[in-house]
Structure 1
């Protein structure tokens, strides 16, 4: 009694075994054609850094929940809500509220790609710097409860540094603070991502020096393409890109200190060549209603993504 093959792949295996004259290369070709096609899937997805909605969020024109719904309707895969937009920041939000936002995002089909705080590790005063470290630690716990894989931090503004300060000494101060935060974050399962922000960190050399000195698997870069304001930003972005665990794509960047529109095709090529996989958060800045600006930039970035798809 003959057996009916269960599927085409089973049939081809049986046929190949019973036909000795079929070359092995031909058999392989037949079997490959029988299986599912392995098309190249673009691993890059878009997130919205909610600083794009800073004005309506801070003024109360929009709630965090409303912004989440707007982003979901637009087509984003994720959102990155900065800590500023949780009630009573920098005080920690109530767990019930954190879980409410987490549930809301999940029900809308949104991942939470990250969150962030405002900190300053360049402060000369030891007790104030310790308070900044504790701020990052506490918000790392919030990130863990929120389900955010990364928390964005800064090196610091450097505004309180005296004229003629020793940069290496301050960098050591920043490195020690970040290392303490990173060790703590590792126990929470959250990565610390250092954002270049045209402050104490101005160049690729500055950010890479800190990352290498901390030397932790739990520290990476939040690559802010609009905050390299010295020299060629594209060259600096390309140098830092292999260390990025998340990004901030902006409408404009600075070429030799002059603000110009971002060449998104060039940025996407850098993203591709770095081997990055994950979310690309976009962030719109400046005047104008984000409910109008964000969709326009979102479409520009989506179009640029097609240059590295396939």
Structure 2
């Protein structure tokens, strides 16, 4: 298995212009990480891509995945077609960056839309994009995210219905907590369809403490049962990270484990701790 770090770990600094995507790549290099997951929201055109490619070559690093933020849950069919075109165009960017893996979403639930209707649209759009992905050698990895593809069985159902080798799962082990699913059991269900894996930890927060003036409630998320979770450094939350890594290793998974830290505090420090922890677990 190969260790990667997602640029989303440092999204606060990237969106705040405290850091550039080149700074992020250098940060990973300084921490001994050879693979980086890049997001389209942090790349502004061909100039950025050219500079990224040059720096990656200079540092002997590679892109693990190129991540986009598509939404197929749109009532207007022309809007859905536009999202499919966005996905198809992004495949070329992924290849230009040197990766055949592209992280994708299903979409967000909207008022008045049934889950069955939304799933049909999601599958329809993936079926439209899949032939080009197969032709180009792209693997789209669907992240469990939100209500429409949050649980492992929902992800599996979309993949099974799409019927393409170009669509697999990006198992975000932290996100499973937000739909009250055991992350290890979710990974087991998706084992044969996992093409990428996000290492993310979350810790359940006591509501009384979260409401206190002294509590740091940054990076908190509400699960579907009303429980509140906060992002945490790997190994300090409630996600069974060691068990998941051990299971994936025993299952013969040879792909990427990409760190996605979303906890409070300085994101660079938190990410550095996550890298050290993940490396320790991978060495066992």
How many Å apart are 1:274 and its aligned residue? 2.9
Report the Cα distance in structure 1 between the residues aligned to 2:95 and 2:137, rounded to whole angstroms.
Answer: 7
Report the Cα distance in structure 2 between the residues aligned to 1:192 and 1:67, rounded to whole angstroms.
Answer: 24
Matched residue, 1:60: 17
2:133 corresponds to 1:185:
yes
Matched residue, 1:219: 167
Matched residue, 2:210: none
Matched residue, 2:105: 154
Candidates 145, 157, 173, aligned match of 2:121: 173
Report the Cα distance in structure 1 between the residues aligned to 2:101 and 2:248, rounded to whole angstroms.
Answer: 19
Report the Cα distance in structure 2 between the residues aligned to 1:210 and 1:114, rounded to whole angstroms.
Answer: 21
Matched residue, 1:200: 148
The 5 Å alignment of 1:92-111 reads: 93-94=45-46, 96-111=47-62
Specify the SS of the correspondent of 1:124: coil
Which has the greater radius of gyration? 1
2:248 corresponds to 1:271:
yes
| CA 235–283 in structure 1, closer or farther in 2 if over 3 Å, else same | same
Matched residue, 2:66: 115
Report the Cα distance in structure 1 between the residues aligned to 2:117 and 2:69, rounded to whole angstroms.
Answer: 22
Candidates 182, 185, 198, aligned match of 1:235: 185
Report the Cα distance in structure 2 between the residues aligned to 1:155 and 1:298, rounded to whole angstroms.
Answer: 28
2:157 corresponds to 1:209:
yes
Structure 1 length-normalised TM? 0.77
Residues 246 and 280 in structure 1, CA contact (< 8 A), matched pair in contact too: yes
Larger RCO (alpha carbons 8 Å, 6+ apart)? 2
CA RMSD of aligned residues (A): 1.8
Q: List alignment gaps of at least 5 residues for structure 1.
A: 1-43, 88-92
2:244 corresponds to 1:293:
no
Matched residue, 2:208: none
Residues 183 and 240 in structure 2, CA contact (< 8 A), matched pair in contact too: no
Q: List alignment gaps of at least 5 residues for structure 2.
A: 205-222, 230-236
How many Å apart are 1:258 and its aligned residue? 6.0
Report the Cα distance in structure 2 between the residues aligned to 1:189 and 1:225, rounded to whole angstroms.
Answer: 26
Report the Cα distance in structure 1 between the residues aligned to 2:89 and 2:127, rounded to whole angstroms.
Answer: 15
What does the per-residue CA deviation read over 1:233-269, in whole Å, with 9 as the maximum and x for residues that have no partner?
2211221132111111012267985644332211112
Report the Cα distance in structure 2 between the residues aligned to 1:258 and 1:225, rounded to whole angstroms.
Answer: 16
Report the Cα distance in structure 1 between the residues aligned to 2:54 and 2:198, rounded to whole angstroms.
Answer: 25
Residues 118 and 153 in structure 1, CA contact (< 8 A), matched pair in contact too: yes
Residues 68 and 90 in structure 2, CA contact (< 8 A), matched pair in contact too: yes
Specify the SS of the correspondent of 2:245: helix
| CA 253–202 in structure 1, closer or farther in 2 if over 3 Å, else same | farther
Matched residue, 2:95: 144
Structure 2 length-normalised TM? 0.84
